[in-house]
Structure 1
């Protein structure tokens, strides 16, 4: 079995990265038993002639830099390049029931899938099936649907533009817009909120803007764990004198100090760079009130400037020329009482005014954010308010300033760009239909939460997943599992075994696919796939490793064969497109705005930037201007209602990743920057809350959700860890705490699960000893 640390809590006092990161890289490379001990691949990661990191979506400088060290990127590459294998023989010897008893970490350690398999109910095992028989089985079931909307097509953010485009075309030619997508669970608030303010659901900055900014406000982020390469960019900003502020309930170690593995001086002298000089820590769910307070004080600072005859704080020219609705927005802010802002944000007025002063002094400000802003009930309104705050001083569409949502998986943004969208625009559908001579479905389809509810009703009974780990990533775990098990068929295109393959429909298939690091040959010719990063840069990726098995097919080829089996190739010659990915890119260029001359432009080292209108101060809104929106602060929330019933005993839970985790993939059982080793069932709490509830540091507790639908939601057996977190807030890892997230606890206008603000009660666990991790 894989190596693991002895369970212990040991506060981490070092800077992020540095020698500690190198040590853990070595451990992971040894643990994964990389095939042939060939580590040359690490020097081809994020290179013009190499492969794009299968991890996060943080951009690369010109995609042509020298070797960039990233601990979590190495973990992802090592996990994909492992020599460990999940063969049909292994699956035949291990029942689904026995595999279900294993942890997510243990499932990850079995290695790469090698051949297509189908579930055998009599033996409760997966058995070998040939590729032609697998495609025929799936195609026949899809053709038998009485309504194409009985099928749902899930997409992970690791899928390439080519595979995702073909996938959405396949589903739409079948007749559905049911595209549950990993973005529904992370940055959907960004995608739904920003178009109403600045006309686009993407970031407005490039990496070059980070070279010119003087202030960065980082909301709800932990870059050291979730996108480590971003720390190098932040380090450079800090070293040249920019002011960096972390706005997050947790004071994450990676935003305090960072030792760059690319800096010989820092490594040899064991020195580090201070990243953030200011930490503002709102209560969970308090960001909207906090940003509202910052915007209110910016108005007050402008009033003071007028009274003193000083230069204005507001950018009046930008507001007059480029925006609409400012007067109503300002009047609403002025009417908001400060005591309400303080109470709802959990931040004293003096701190809010200090943050506003930092923002007002900045001449070139970038705001970045992660899921700390997007997984709340009022997340869309929060993103819109943040856009409005930036508009007050003209910090959108000028060098060194702008909005920067930091996406998670490497191509989650690209998937949306090329059509993985359950609410497609009429313009996109018109162009898609013209390019492929069919009439695409027009009705909006199901997102993730809608799909689970539809499966529970029996309205969706075929579930196809292009990557990902749906059963582990989604909320309300027992209900999601019930929904998946109610399906007639589940199909998973995957590289490694995961929980979703064990929570299956009556017929279930696993189709093994190539990883990003592996050579993808079609008709003997190596193919490159393209991805889009968080700043809308599109670049190409070529694998370099030999495939883990000769039976593996690429995602693009699997999608093409599924489409051929279900629809035939009279209208679209699916396998012809899959034989040369450049043909798919030509069609993307025909359908999707901004991809003109796709093949020629992506051949340039580093690829090309997609046009983002707001970056050029073009506002694709109904008014033709950036919109100030009035979104009132609403104190009546599920948290407030839970506390009205149960008082201060109600804690607000945020689910979070450990450092040895990427999304639902558990690489190891440590979270060293938070001082947790060899275990995952921990809950971080403020010492005063621990005492108030009658517990002690190290006690074991069970958690239950306070909700109003009479469904019991529990997660049992968590060790209390005293931690520096705001009063009334707790944090624990997912997927272990996903059972506590109600399916209908979602963000307004975006339907994203509110995994950062769940009201829970804690009680002493029956057994005060650690369960098996």
Structure 2
């Protein structure tokens, strides 16, 4: 028995650079990518190539210039791997045995080749024909007492074509149960922005990044989650733009970045400085910090009025385009500095410094990630950030605006074409008109609601269009209980993952084509479309031979399931997948303004941008104006309540990705920029907190979640790593720490799991006898 092989070695180099190139070479070797596969990488994000299956950061017009991205290469290499998981693999391994494998080991076996059906007698998956698989699912669905006994999960990697067919089938079947990955990450954004600026999407484009003089980066780690963003930040920094990073963890990628395509960066070994200021609020402290910035701006504006000097706020913009400025100003004046400093965890001098940077910027972009959204007050925080940006007219002008950075490559596109449990009535009525249907109008289950319903026995059928639902969700033990309560679970996937092992009484694995692969239908090779974080829609064509002749495309799987389930309807499901342009025609008919001339406009390299009214200072709110909203600094949150009970023994934990990870996909065991190698069960902790707890870096601890429901939630055997993080805060990787997030601990209004503010206490323990993998 061996102990953990973890190596903790601080990383002092710039992000990307030579380290990224070295890791790319290692990934290509790990996945046994041939020379032809390397050439495939150079077709990524090209006019006649494929869209990166990784993040949703946009590309510069899909030009002929290859944009290097370490994580994009990892995603492509993982999909284009030469490794295979045929039926013979499953004949050798029971599900019980595979449950003991790490998440990394499961996916590292390679691409699935055949549809598989679970045999409860042998505890193994066995090959099944596609026809039989569709018949089994159709029988199960048509045998339900009510369509709401089925839920249909969607990963953000599904194309527009697959997602639109999917939502059409499910609504024709009779339910709006559409839990999706947006529920777990950026739902707070999707709730906050429509109420304030009229649309749940960002207002900026890459063009705006070229003209911004100030960028505020909230709750993000671009070097790991969307590395191509660092190229834009590098160019902004080089021309003199001020970049402020606001993040509890001191992330290397927001300090220095070496562009692998820049000879100067690579030869200097120093890279380029990114942030001019790094602010570290405590977990959940962003709302108080932003209110502090607003208070300073109002204070300085009041002084300008008093002295007859130039106003600090944009008076004309506020008068023409906004509501409720007077209420916001009054609220800021009465807000306590003591409360702001205490709840933000940021010294007053730093709050003033960042406020001054904002107030003297002419063109400011605010970006944010899940460090903002996954808190109980996530919606309120985003609304407060909108308040800040409205004060100086920083929405709807060149070089300025709101930029939520979503993760999955098409999570925003999925929502646009109907993957939402609460789609607007107008959209649902259009479905009725176009397809002669009477789709359900009542809201369905979101992700947390679906888990609750499965636990309660109200859901009997679970279908996953991609993703890894069982470990991307909170409260792992209870989620698994719910999944196992189902009569049938079925997953569309490219690789084996944990969700295929946490299954219902019947279970199917349905292997699909990846985005890198040629999708040939009756009329020839097909392209699929996706929408990036900045509302650009473009087409993607696979380049590689499919990993197996037995794979189906996601649109084909959805269409064949619909045809098997819905007998006698008037939608020609199978005819639609002969030529995906037919699906796009239907999207255009359903959403005629957004997708006018859809099939023509995607022929242009780079595609087209969907309408974003807030970019033009058109506010689709009830008042027709952008709304300032009053948001109180939380003072009685579950964190506050737990601290009253546990005092200094209480810590606030955030879940995060390692650098060798994309969402729930584990590429390796290292987190290079944070200096962790060979181990994933680690907890990043403030050095003073380590000493205060009688610990040392290198000790091992258990984590126990604090929640008032009588359920014990534990995550045991984590290595303590000293790190630059605010006192009282901890950070650990997901999915290893997801079990600590109570199912009921969700953001107000959006119901996003509060994965960035988990109250926990720690217990000292002994080192594990065996190494813990993913």
Query: Shorter-normalised TM-score: what interval?
Result: over 0.9
Partner of residue 624, structure 2: 624
Counterparts of 1:561 and 1:439 in 2: how far apart (Å)? Answer: 22
Residue 111 of structure 1 deviates from its aligned partner by: 0.4
Give the stretch that moved more between structures: 6-15 or 742-751.
6-15
Deviation at 1:270, TM superposition (A): 2.3
Distance 1:389 1:569 in 2: 55
> Quick one: distance in 2 between partners of 1:677 and 1:90?
30
Give 2:714's aligned residue. 714
Asked if the contact 2:107/2:495 (under 8 Å) is kept, the reply is yes
Q: Deviations over 1:708-731 (max 9, x none)?
A: 000000000000001110000000
Query: Deviation at 1:770?
Result: 5.8
Q: CA deviation at 1:332?
A: 1.4
Does residue 681 (structure 1) correspond to residue 676 (structure 2)? The answer is no
Change (3 A) 1:6 1:22: farther
Q: Which residue of 1 aligns with 2:757?
A: 757
Unaligned runs of 5+ in 2: none
Deviation at 1:766, TM superposition (A): 4.2
Cα distance in 2 for partners of 1:187, 1:37 equals 37
Report if the CA contact (8 A) 1:699-1:768 is conserved.
no
Partners of 1:312 and 1:97 lie apart in 2 by: 68
Matched residue SS, 2:772: coil
* C-alpha displacement of 1:308: 2.8
2:534 aligned residue: 535
Q: Which runs of 5+ in 1 are unaligned?
A: none
Residue in 2 that maps onto 1:183: 182
Match of 2:198 in 1: 199
- By how many angstroms is 1:360 displaced? 0.4
Matched residue of 2:652: which SS? strand
Deviation at 1:460, TM superposition (A): 1.1
Contact 1:717 1:771 in 2 (8 A): no
Summarize deviations over 1:617-664 as a string: whole Å, max 9, x none.
Answer: 110001110001111122001111111001111010000000000000
Q: 2-side partners of 1:361 and 1:559: how far apart? A: 52
SS of equivalent residue, structure 2 residue 653 = strand
Q: How many residues align?
A: 769
Residue number in structure 2 paired with 1:577 = 576
Partner residue, 1:111: 110
Secondary structure of the structure 1 residue equivalent to 2:481 = helix
The aligned counterpart of 2:704 is 704
Question: CA deviation digits over 1:186-220, x for unaligned, max 9?
Answer: 00000000000000000000110001110000000
> What is the TM-score with the length of structure 1 in the denominator?
0.99
Q: Which residue of 1 aligns with 2:442?
A: 443
Query: Is the partner of 1:212 in helix, strand or coil?
Result: coil
- Kindly indicate whether the alpha-carbon contact (under 8 Å) linking 1:719 and 1:770 is maintained by their aligned counterparts in 2: no
CA contact (8 A) 2:523 2:579 kept: no
Aligned pairs for 1:399-478 within 5 A? 399-478=398-477
Cα distance in 1, alignment partners of residues 148 and 175 from structure 2: 5
Contact kept, 8 Å, 1:217 with 1:246, in 2: the verdict is yes
Shift of the alpha carbon at 1:68?
A: 1.0
Deviations 1:701-757 (A, max 9, x none): 000001100000000000000111000000000000001000000000000000000
Distance in 2 (alpha carbons) for counterparts of 1:315 and 1:65: 41
Partners of 1:687 and 1:722 within 8 A in 2: yes
| Contact 2:13 2:270 survives alignment (8 Å) | no
In structure 1, what is the Cα distance between the partners aligned to 2:772 and 2:415? 39
In the alignment, structure 1 residue 270 sits paired with structure 2 residue 273: no
In 2, the alpha carbon distance for the partners of 1:139 and 1:249 equals 48
Write the mapping of 1:529-568 to structure 2, written as runs, cut at 5 A: 529-568=528-567
Deviation track 1:248-291 (CA, whole Å, cap 9, x = no partner) reads 00110001011101112221332311000101110001011111
Query: C-alpha deviations, 1:57-104, integer Å up to 9, x for none?
Result: 000001124111100000000000001111111012110000000010
Partner of 1:667: 667
Indicate whether 1:249 and 2:258 are aligned.
Answer: no
Query: What's the CA shift for 1:579?
Result: 1.1
Partner of 1:635: 635
Residue 507 (structure 1) aligns with: 506
Aligned to 1:648: 648
CA distance in 2, matches of 1:723, 1:111: 35
- Aligned-pair distance for 1:310? 1.8
Please give the per-residue CA displacement for 1:305-342, whole angstroms capped at 9, x wherever unaligned: 22232211100101100001111121112111110011
Superposed displacement of residue 38, structure 1 = 2.9
Shift of 1:568: 2.5
C-alpha distance in 1, partners of 2:350/2:670? 34
Deviation of the 1:23 alpha carbon: 0.3
1:35 shift after superposition:
5.1
Q: Deviations over 1:683-717 (max 9, x none)?
A: 00001111111111100000000110000000000
Structure 1 residue 767: Cα displacement: 4.2
Look up the match of 1:138.
137
- What's the secondary structure of 1:39's corresponding residue? helix
Report what 1:743 is aligned to.
743
How far apart, CA to CA, are the structure 1 residues paired with 2:602 and 2:36?
32
| 1:388 match: secondary structure | helix
CA contact (8 A) 2:15 2:253 kept: yes
Equivalences for 1:26-175 in 2 at 5 Å? 26-34=25-33, 38-175=37-174
CA, structure 1 residues 148+35, in 2 after alignment: closer, same or farther (shift >3 Å)? farther
CA RMSD of aligned residues (A): 1.0
Are the counterparts in 1 of residues 680 and 772 from structure 2 also a CA contact under 8 Å? no
2:220 aligns with 221
**1:429-450 CA-partner distances (Å, limit 9, x unpaired):** 1111111110110000000000
* Partner SS state of residue 210, structure 2: helix
Superposition map of 1:367-378 within 5 A: 367-378=366-377
Q: Matched residues in 1 for 2:171 and 2:98: separation?
A: 35
Who is 1:345 aligned against? 344
| Residue number in structure 1 paired with 2:237 | 238
* Matches of 2:523 and 2:428, distance apart in 1: 34
The 3 A distance-change label for structure 1 pair 65 and 352 is farther
Shift in CA distance, 152/93, structure 1 to aligned 2, threshold 3 Å: same
State the Cα distance separating 1:524 from its structure 2 match.
5.1
Is 2:23 the counterpart of 1:24? yes
Query: CA separation in 2, counterparts of 1:772 and 1:404?
Result: 37
* Greater alpha carbon shift after TM alignment, 480-489 vs 88-97: 88-97
Normalised to the residue count of structure 2, the TM-score between the two structures is 0.98
Query: Matches of 2:192 and 2:459 in 1, distance apart?
Result: 28
Q: Deviations 1:173-198 (Å, cap 9, x if unpaired)? A: 00000000000000000000000000
**CA–CA separation in structure 2 for the residues paired with 1:525 and 1:641:** 61
